[in-house]
Amino acid sequence: MKIAFVYDIPYPWHKGGLEYILSVEASELAKKHEVHFFTMRWPGMKEKFVHKGVTYHTFGNFNEETAYRHGRRAIRETLIFTLCMTNLFRYDFDVIISNIFPVVHLPLVRLYARMKNTILIFKVDEVWNGEYWKDYLGAIAGTVAGFYANSFLVSDRAYYVANSWDTAERLRAAGVSKKKINVFAPVLDDLTLKKARKDAGRKRKRIIFAGRFIKEKRLDKWIDAVKRTIDMDNEVEALLVGKGMEMKKMSGKIKELGLEKKITIKPFFKNKEDLYKDIAESSVLLHMGEREGLSIITLESIFLGTPVVLPDYSPIPKMVKDMCIVAEEKKIPKMIIEIMKDDRKYMRHRENLKVFSTSNVISFYDGLFKAR
């Protein structure tokens, strides 16, 4: 099979959960098929090159500042991305795998699939309703975007790969046929995670989180919860790993609260093994985010033997949340202290992790290809 992935933000040139999943799927499929990845050109990328068996085709010049505006996707850049993706029509592919975001490009990939008689697969990590679109873009723009997205999301021609049963339910509510929806989220590199857990040192009284520093991660709430935990036990420390638009704001808050010696901020690691070691040596991963399609960092932490604490408002899917400790926001510090006394009591349902293994990529997609 000749397969093309279509998405504007590539991993590892940009760190993010969705980007990581697409990268894993592309590199795994490249072990058996001819795989291409059409994306925008981020710093460090050439116009055309091969990475982990995948041929990358890049266009324009993107970076963190141009791709995002005021904490959200920049409309101008999504339009440029869509125009650049007309280059797809120069090639013949058997399969197109495209994430539904950034939405503007959906008519184009649907047109390509129809003209080329190509298998079309939509990757779906979140399904937004009208209210969410309004909150994200404002009343007028959000209404238009929501109508546009729903108009082109539902396609008789496409197969849909949702990252959880929660997302699958939202797709069905949006009008997608149940027969067209599959649930699959290959995010756990078993071999690397097992090695990291084996090589990790002893647990520390440390709270950790890793991800993009954006407002949806609610790092302000994270810092508040960490402070209240430290007030209860001064031996507790914390580590934030990542970068993003909220960096300056969070650094200022840490300084304002006098926590510079207690909360350390590190940039994203060059390789995941270093991050896994830090997670495995921490007592708790605290995730205060208010918008999350799946949360890879949560699954990785559970695999590494570090319990995950979530606030009761967390939108993380039930199939993942069931493996975590969920508490009211005000009770989180006390819960963290309890976990640090004996974390083994709080590890639950780890057998469910097997459905997130990257080793299933080829067999899953080959099944979809044959279904046609």
* Cis before 10? omega within 30: no
Nearest to 355 by CA among 323, 326, 309, 310: 323
pLDDT value for 345: 77
Would the pLDDT of 338 be above 70? yes
Please tell me the predicted confidence (pLDDT) of residue 150. 82
Q: How far apart are CA 359 and CA 218, in angstroms?
A: 33
The model's pTM: 0.77
Give the percent of the chain with pLDDT over 70. 99
- Domains, the chain, in order of start with CATH, read 2-186+357-371 (3.40.50.2000), 190-354 (3.40.50.2000)
pLDDT surpassing 80 at residue 349:
no
Q: What is the mean pLDDT of residues 195-224?
A: 95
On the question of pLDDT at 64 being above 90, the answer is no
pLDDT at 372: 67
The reported pLDDT for the residue numbered 340 is: 94
> For strand 48-51 and strand 54-59, is the pairing parallel, antiparallel, or unpaired?
antiparallel
Residue 11 has pLDDT above 90, yes or no: yes
C-alpha span between 315 and 331 (Å, rounded): 18
3-state SS class at 39: strand
Paired residues of 144 in beta bridges: none
Contact status, residue 164 vs residue 183, Cβ threshold 8 Å: yes
Burial class (CB in 10 A: 0-12, 13-18, 19+), 341: exposed
For the residues 146-158, what does the mean pLDDT come to? 86
In this predicted structure, the answer to whether residue 3 has a pLDDT above a threshold of 90 is yes
pLDDT at 20: 87
Q: Which two tokens stand for residue 67?
A: 């791709």
> For the purposes of burial, counting CB atoms within 10 Å of the CB of 170, is it exposed (0-12), middle (13-18) or buried (19 or more)?
middle
Evaluate if residue 248 carries a pLDDT over 90: yes
User: Is the model's pLDDT at 344 over the cut of 80?
Assistant: no
Q: Are 320 and 294 within 8 A, CB to CB?
A: yes
Instruction: Report the pLDDT averaged over residues 28-53.
Output: 97
pLDDT > 70? residue 315: yes
Decide which of 227 and 14 is more confident.
Answer: 227
Question: Average model confidence (pLDDT) for the chain?
Answer: 92
Q: Span 256-265, mean pLDDT?
A: 96
Whether the pLDDT of residue 347 is over 70: the answer is: yes
Q: Which of 247-251, 286-290, 303-307, 350-354 has the lowest mean pLDDT?
A: 350-354
pLDDT at 222: 98
Amino acid at 292: E
Q: What is the mean pLDDT of residues 152-169?
A: 91
Does 107 have pLDDT greater than 90?
A: yes
The mean pLDDT of 314-327, rounded to a whole number, is: 93
